Every structure is written in structure tokens, then in C-alpha cells.
Structure 1
Amino acid sequence: MSETTATPQQAPGIPAQTPGQGPGVTVPRAYKARRRSPWLATVLIALIAGCGLGFALLLNSAGDRQQVVTIAREVQAGEKITPGDLATAQVAVDGGLKSIRADEQDSVVGRRAAVGLKPGSLLSRSQVTRTALVRQGEQVVPIGLKPGLVHASGLAPGQRVEVVKVAKDGEAELAPGKEKEAPAQESVPARVIKVGDAEEGSGTRVVDVAVLKEDGPKVLSWSATERAALALDVPDGGQ
């Protein structure tokens, strides 16, 4: 009589089992090994290299920083520069800017500001001068300029100008039946010393100019009667 091996019956709804696998255990697809894409590895390498390059550039720029002279408090054009007017700061210096190194600070003390110096700004060689803006034999006269007489190109200390006497409104009109020769245009050479801010409301801007001492009273009378205007001279060699 032959022996027969009984095959266990599989219950309905239960998946077939593989030898060596426990009952009811399946491997989800989510846990299967995934292969990384080559392009992802390339992007990661590029990011790491870029960060390293940026860090190297940052270190390099930090190495180019220099200790330079800055302005600690406001200095008007023509005023002498004192040690208290100056400070120092470590900045990345632009090659096109002729800044003054901190160890050269004493070389500018005692010189005059060629232009108005504002706190927090860097000091350059072009902003200092040995020459006084107001020279011996000169007087400083204020000229009040209405908005229509202010140069759009701007005025700056040291610029050469002509103070021109202008007619007031209605002054050039002649009485009927009378003839009169137009007066010769009067002007006086001058140099800008300081340009004030526009007054609130009127917009009038006061400009201090240096003129010869003998011309001072005349120019002052023009200014007091609102007959003075400024004509900007063209620099030598200008078109």
C-alpha cells in the first residue's frame, strides 16, 4: 500500500506562501531598494562646489578690506579739518576711489575742505585743499536766488561765476513818448563759497560768493534789492 503526502489546504482569501516566508508577510513596494538618478548626484556635487567657491570669494574680498579715513562730523567747504572731524573704518576699497589710508590721517589735518563733507562718508584726496576758498582782499556776499534762477546743473564751492545785475519786474518799461537807452549790463566776477538749502515755501536758495573787496558793497546792494543773478562760467577748455 503506497504512502501519500497530504498537501495542506489553502484557506480561501489567503495568498500562497513562498517557502521560507512566514505566513501573511508581504514586502511592500515602498521598501524595495530604489536606484538614485545620476543627475541628482551631479546637482548635489555642483551645489557643494558652488558653496565652496562662494566662501573662497568671501574670504578673498575680506582680505582686500582696508582701514581708511571717514568723516565723523560735518565740515563746511573752506573750513579747516581737525582731528575730531575724522574717523576710520575698515571697508572694501574700490580701485577707482582715491581714498586715504588710516595711517595717512595726519596728512589731511589742517587742510581745508574743498567741498562740504558729510558724516559717514569716505574722505578722498580731491575733497581737501591747501588753498583757502576766501582769499586775502576778498569779501563774501550772500546772493538769494529764486527757483527760476537756480542752475539745474548745480553749483558747488570753488566754481567761478559772474554776478549779474538784472532789472526788476517792470523796471525796463518806458513811459509813453519817452525814449531811453538800455543801461549797460553790469557784472562782477565771483567764486562760489557755499550753496544753501532751498527755503521752505519760497524755494529761494542763498549762495555765498567771494568777490573783490571793492566790489562787495555794490554786489551786496544788488542782492538786497533782488537784482543779482549768477551766470556760471565755462571752465577753461570747455565747449
Structure 2
Amino acid sequence: MNKGFVETYFNFEKVDWSTMWTSVYNTLFMTIVSTVLVVILGLLLGLALYSLGRKTTYSSRFVYTIVSIISNIFRSTPFMILMVLLIPFTTLLVGTFLGATAAIPALVLSATPFYARLVEISFREVDSGVLEAAEAMGASYGQIIYKILIPESLPSLISGVTVTTITMIGYTAIAGAIGAGGLGAIAWQEGYQRSNYTITLVATVLILVIVFIIQAIGDYLTKRTDKR
């Protein structure tokens, strides 16, 4: 292997490991906090979309269309643009637009509509015959949600959380490039901008390790909850 290539990408003496582990912490902080909020809000929004979509009244269809349009706007807006647009709101909410905490509003607003759509799809895949039987037996709508809809769609919901979480890790890397901190920030600022490609390589490998761990946990939980 070329000596210059090794010195460029594998010179680990250039890596400040304390700073690197701090960046790992910031990435995990942004991802975990955002994921918790996205799961809660996404379930509520997905349930609302599913419930409105089942109804045939004009008002329900109208509200469903409005909610869908708003969700699609946030879901389709590139994350970096959304984060910049939300700077005034973020500053008002957390007092600054820099740092890991400041990235959370943009992460939540971008990922919640995405997960809500996955939730809606998961609920739609539940056998309608089971729902009709529960309704015929006098089950309330709340009972149908908590005892049938969520348990029956749980593997799909977990799979959706896994996909959404991995997507948000990619978003944290983008957020890091514009002041949020984390592995994306160190890869861009300390690595690329200073031509220290070892740092960029290490940060990339750590992001991949986090992704693989999350994917493995998600796959395990999906299989454990799948009754088929």
C-alpha cells in the first residue's frame, strides 16, 4: 500500500480521541432525544391520518388532505434547508441555533411526517376482518387501537422506527456541518476542512458502527414481536 495513502488516511496520531468521543455523545444525544419525540408525535399523527382516511365524510377527507399536504411539505423539504428556515424558531425555543440541542427541532419536524406515514401504512396493513369483528363485539375505538391495531402492527412499527432512526443519524451528520456538533461536525470541520482525512475516516466508521448496532437491535425486536 502506498505510504502517502497510509499517512493520509491512517495516521491515528492526528485524532483527538476525547473530542471524538464527545462528538459520539452529541450524535447519540441528538438521535435518541429526537427518536423518542418522533415516535410519540409520529404515532399520534399516523393514527390521525389512519382514522381520518377510514372515514368517508367530506369534512374528514378535507382534514385528511390538509394534514397530508402539511406532512408532505416537511417530509419533502431537504433537511439542511429546513434547519436554516427554522433558525428563528429554534433560537426562540432553545435560545441558540448552535449545538446538539438546537438541532432537535429540525430533526423532529423533518422525521415526524416520515414516520407518521410509516405508521399509517402499518395500520392499514392490519386485517380489516379483525377490526370489524372487534367492532361487532362492541369494542370501543380506544380498545381497538391499544388491543388490536398497535399489537398487530408492532413489528412493522418497530421496523419503521429503525428506518427513521437511521435516517436521522444521517441528518445529524448534515446538521453537524452547520453548527450542531456531533460526528458530522468533526468530520467536516476537523477532517475535511483541515485536510485531516484520518478524522473524517474515523468519524465515518463510528457513524457506520452506530447504524449497524441500531439496525441489529431493530431487526431483533422486529423478529421477537412478529407472530407470523
User: TM class by shorter-chain length?
Assistant: under 0.3
For normalisation by structure 1, the TM-score amounts to 0.21
Question: For the pair shown, which has the larger CA radius of gyration, 1 or 2?
Answer: 1
Higher normalized strand content (fraction of residues): 1
**Structure of higher RCO (CA pairs closer than 8 Å, 6+ residues apart):** 2
For normalisation by structure 2, the TM-score amounts to 0.21
